[in-house]
């Protein structure tokens, strides 16, 4: 109950970002739409009141954890210390917002809200620890990728650029008075060097283009200008893509996968070991201490009575389905006593995935109805339904492509008539399934529930 309440509070607290100014309550995400895109801003104090209630709930949750865990565990837990720090910063930032009348420029507590989700989930904590352990290996691969980009950036700047030299002769016409009275001119030569940069004008531009090429996003924009000038430039891009994409990126994926797999395996092993240790410790405590004298006198020194086990389970919230499984196992025990292995297997049966027991089919007495029931229950009936679904999709695609500019959803259109036929078939199909296998067996299959909901929505 506490975890569910905490999850609801965290969800509400995270959703406040959509309504806090500047709110996201607008039809379009483009702020340039002007009048038709006015944002709905809630009055000051509404979101602050909701956030204060969430913070108070967090404080109560933190106090319960401190009381239950004890001082030693609290001092050792980094997550609880972070919990305290984030709550303190959130309270101070909330006071600043209230004091300034919701006109503050920054709200730092928004950045800290995801921490409440992290510290409340053991799976999130394990994920963060796994990421922390993989950081050194990931950084080493990132360093290799950085060197790969730098080297090929310099190569690209040298290889993917051409220079054109234009030589022009210019005559300067001016009169020089000489001894013989002749006039002449001087001839000068201008050399213009024009560089064609097919890759980038500087290191930063070239580096970013290779980074885009490595992520395969808009890669034709990077390659095609150079490829149009010379086809051999494609060799450079092929080598770069092969080394970066198929070697280093796959190496990065392998490092992350191996680290997460190893951490997950160790985590599961430690969890299973703690579970078995706790069950064994509970067995030893029950063996030594009985709830009543009559139950303890009838037990062997190495066993625990089923009566004592029932009393223990009644005091623990295992869930209705798990308790039914345990009761069924205890009822099959004729001796009335459990050994250590039987006690361990009793709780292992709870963690195992139980198969759903489907109610038996009710057979029809009429010969023709029984034949119809066999046809509906058979797998080919489902295959025929899937075939009609595929045909329906093909017809809708063809009709929409042919009459896209017309109102295909008009009542008397061909598409509407075809859809009506298929909807009637889907409805009859679900009705036949409910009649053939029965309501109780029908709802035990998730696929039937999904098909029934979709059919009702179509109707």
* Residue 300, domain member (yes or no): yes
Number of structural domains (the chain) is 4
**249 and 302 within one domain:** no
* Residue 218, domain member (yes or no): yes
- pLDDT tens profile 401-445: 776 666 555 555 677 788 888 889 999 999 999 888 888 888 888
CATH code (residue 292): 1.10.238
Query: How many Å apart are CA 434 and CA 452, to the nearest integer?
Result: 10
**66 and 23 within one domain:** yes
pLDDT at 216 over 60: yes
Query: How many Å apart are CA 140 and CA 230, to the nearest integer?
Result: 36
Strands (E), 363-435: none
Helix (H) or strand (E) holding 130: helix 122-159
**281 and 251 within one domain:** no
Domain assignment of residue 8, given as a range? 1-28+37-120
**211 and 295 within one domain:** no
Per-residue pLDDT at 177: 44
Query: How many Å apart are CA 86 and CA 73, to the nearest integer?
Result: 19
- pLDDT tens profile 167-178: 555 555 544 444
pLDDT at 264 over 80: no
Query: How many Å apart are CA 152 and CA 245, to the nearest integer?
Result: 14
pLDDT at 355 over 70: no
Helix axes 122-159, 249-288, angle to 10 degrees: 170
Q: Averaged over 150-155, what is the pLDDT?
A: 88
- pLDDT tens profile 84-114: 999 999 999 999 988 888 888 888 888 999 9
* Residue 181, domain member (yes or no): no
Cut 0.85: pTM above it: no
Of the three residues 320, 353, 386, the one that is the final residue of a domain is 353
Q: Which one, of 147, 72, 127, lies nearest residue 259 by Cα? A: 127
Per-residue pLDDT at 21: 78
Strand pairing report for 185-197 and 161-173: antiparallel
* Residue 321, domain member (yes or no): yes
**1 and 98 within one domain:** yes
Any bridge partners for residue 305, and if so which?
A: 337
Peptide bond into 271 cis (omega under 30): no
* Residue 416, domain member (yes or no): yes
CATH code (residue 416): 1.20.120
Query: How many Å apart are CA 426 and CA 385, to the nearest integer?
Result: 8
**80 and 148 within one domain:** no
Query: How many Å apart are CA 184 and CA 66, to the nearest integer?
Result: 102
Q: Averaged over 71-84, what is the pLDDT?
A: 86
Of the three residues 296, 323, 353, the one that is the final residue of a domain is 353
Of the three residues 304, 327, 353, the one that is the final residue of a domain is 353
Q: Count CA atoms closer than 13 A to 76's CA, side-chain side.
A: 5
**86 and 62 within one domain:** yes
**148 and 248 within one domain:** yes
* Residue 358, domain member (yes or no): no
* Residue 60, domain member (yes or no): yes
Per-residue pLDDT at 294: 46
**231 and 115 within one domain:** no
Query: How many Å apart are CA 6 and CA 64, to the nearest integer?
Result: 12
* Residue 249 backbone dihedrals phi, psi, to 5 degrees: -65, -40
pLDDT at 293 over 70: no
* Residue 359, domain member (yes or no): no
**57 and 144 within one domain:** no
**273 and 255 within one domain:** no
Q: What integer best gives the mean pLDDT of the chain?
A: 78
Residue 55 pLDDT grade (very low, low, confident, very high; cuts 50, 70, 90): very high
Of the segments 143-152, 281-290, 309-318, which one has the largest average pLDDT value?
143-152
**141 and 224 within one domain:** yes
pLDDT at 164 over 70: no
């Amino acid at each position: 109950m506490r975890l569910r309440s905490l999850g609801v509070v965290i969800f509400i607290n995270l959703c406040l970002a959509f309504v806090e100014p500047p709110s996201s309550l607008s039809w379009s995400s483009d702020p340039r739409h002007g009048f038709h895109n006015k944002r709905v801003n809630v009055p000051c104090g509404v979101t602050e009141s909701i956030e204060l209630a969430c913070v108070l709930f967090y404080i109560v949750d933190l106090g319960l954890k401190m009381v239950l865990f004890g001082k030693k565990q609290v001092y050792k837990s980094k997550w609880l210390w972070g919990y305290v720090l984030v709550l303190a910063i959130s309270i101070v930032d909330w006071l600043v917002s209230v004091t300034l009348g919701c006109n503050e420029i920054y709200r730092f507590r928004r950045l800290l809200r995801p921490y409440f989700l992290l510290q409340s989930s053991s799976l999130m904590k394990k994920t963060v620890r796994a990421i922390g352990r993989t950081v050194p290996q990931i950084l080493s691969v990132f360093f290799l990728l950085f060197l790969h980009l730098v080297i090929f950036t310099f190569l690209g700047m040298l290889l993917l650029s051409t220079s054109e030299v234009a030589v022009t002769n210019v005559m300067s016409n001016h009169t020089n008075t000489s001894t013989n009275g002749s006039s002449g001119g001087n001839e000068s030569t201008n050399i213009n060097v024009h560089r064609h940069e097919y890759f980038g004008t500087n290191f930063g531009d070239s580096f970013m283009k290779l980074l885009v090429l490595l992520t395969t996003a808009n890669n034709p924009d990077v390659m095609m200008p150079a490829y149009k000038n010379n086809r051999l430039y494609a060799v450079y891009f092929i080598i770069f893509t092969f080394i970066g994409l198929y070697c280093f990126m796959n190496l990065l994926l392998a490092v992350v996968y191996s680290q997460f797999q190893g951490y997950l395996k160790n985590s599961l092993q430690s969890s299973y070991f703690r579970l078995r240790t706790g069950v064994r410790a509970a067995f030893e405590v029950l063996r030594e201490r009985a709830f009543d004298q009559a139950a303890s006198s009838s037990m062997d020194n190495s066993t625990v009575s089923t009566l004592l086990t029932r009393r223990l389970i009644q005091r623990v919230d295992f869930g209705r389905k798990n308790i039914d499984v345990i009761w069924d196992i205890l009822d099959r025990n004729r001796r009335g006593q459990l050994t250590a292995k039987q006690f361990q297997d009793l709780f292992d049966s709870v963690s195992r995935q139980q198969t759903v027991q489907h109610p038996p089919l009710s057979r029809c007495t009429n010969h023709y109805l029984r034949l119809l029931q066999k046809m509906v229950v058979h797998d080919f009936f489902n295959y025929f339904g899937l075939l009609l679904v595929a045909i329906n999709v093909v017809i809708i695609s063809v009709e929409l492509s042919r009459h896209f500019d017309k109102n295909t959803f008009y009542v008397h259109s061909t598409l509407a008539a075809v859809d009506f036929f298929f909807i009637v078939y889907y409805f009859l199909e679900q009705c036949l399934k409910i009649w053939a296998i029965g309501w109780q067996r029908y709802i035990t299959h998730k696929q039937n529930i999904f098909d029934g909901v979709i059919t009702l929505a179509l109707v």
